[in-house]
Amino acid sequence: MRKPIIAGNWKMYKSIREGVDFVNAVKEHVANTDVEVLICAPYTLLASLVEAAKGTHIHIGAQNMHFEDAGAFTGEVSADMLLDIGVTHVIIGHSERRQYFAETDETVNLKTKKALAKGLVPVVCCGESLEERDADATKDVCKKQITKAFEGISSDDAVKVVVAYEPIWAIGTGKTASSEDANEVIAYIRDVLEGLYGDTVSEEIRIQYGGSVKPANVEEIMNQTDIDGALVGGASLEAESFVQLVNF
Ligand code: PGA
């Protein structure tokens, strides 16, 4: 059985105060242990959020990390630095990082390997642009991104990865892929993983959908056979709506 994982991606929003208030506001309402709850926040909030979430089962994640252990990489943060403050998860290869910060399939692979080697849970993002979808290339794009992201990763490690399928055209636009469409692509991603690792492993790996998920559509999305969670941007910023998402 794959445990559902509902994750908020706060992107570049919230002060420390706002983040801590949020955790305090939601913690009693997201205590359902059948769902893994994750908040991925900007670096500046992480230590305070870990502190605020102590004694709850809310996990705190980063939105990026560097693939080297240490070095002259101005502005970057390493896996060890995240572990140092109690962070457990890290988003890797979000489309906004691919689009604006030159993230490539290769760096996604390096970061995923490093996160796993250090004991962080990578939430590895994939997804097609509108152009690619219109050209009927959705599956090819996802296959390429996933195959590269998992290159050199053992079966034992692969099962620890969370995949997030996020069609770029559905992110922050209010347009959601229909739940059936999302499920079809996610089932295909599972097939790709089956090709890489066999069915025992592919049946264990959790795959989220992301892109304009909100309280009004989360239940339908979560009812799909292959969708194991949601990665949520906009609708994760308000405590009330986050609580509803977790309690889909
Ligand atoms: P959205 O963002 O829910 O605001 O569409 C999702 C994401 O980028 O992870």
- Tokens at 194, concatenated: 């089956």
Per-residue confidence (pLDDT) for residue 75, from 0 to 100:
98
Which pLDDT does position 68 carry in this prediction? 98
Question: Among 6, 103, 221, 231, which is best to mutate for testing ligand 1, by the most ligand atoms less than 8 A from CB?
Answer: 231
Hey, whose CA ends up nearest to atom 3 of ligand 1?
A: 233
Quick check: pTM over 0.85?
Answer: yes
227 vs 165, 180, 188, CA distance in Å? 9, 10, 11
138: CA distance to ligand 1 center in Å? 18
Contact 46, 78 (CB under 8 A): no
**Residue 62's beta-bridge partner residues?**
90
Looking at residue 176, its pLDDT comes to 80
Residue with tokens 């739940």: 179
Cα 71 to ligand 1 centre (Å)? 32
Please compute, for residue 146, the number of CA atoms within 13 A of its CA located in the half-sphere on the CB side. Answer: 32
Mean pLDDT of the 181-202 span: 98
User: Under a CB-based contact definition with an 8 Å cutoff, are residues 215 and 245 in contact?
Assistant: yes
Mean pLDDT to the nearest integer, 227-231: 98
3-state DSSP assignment of residue 92: strand
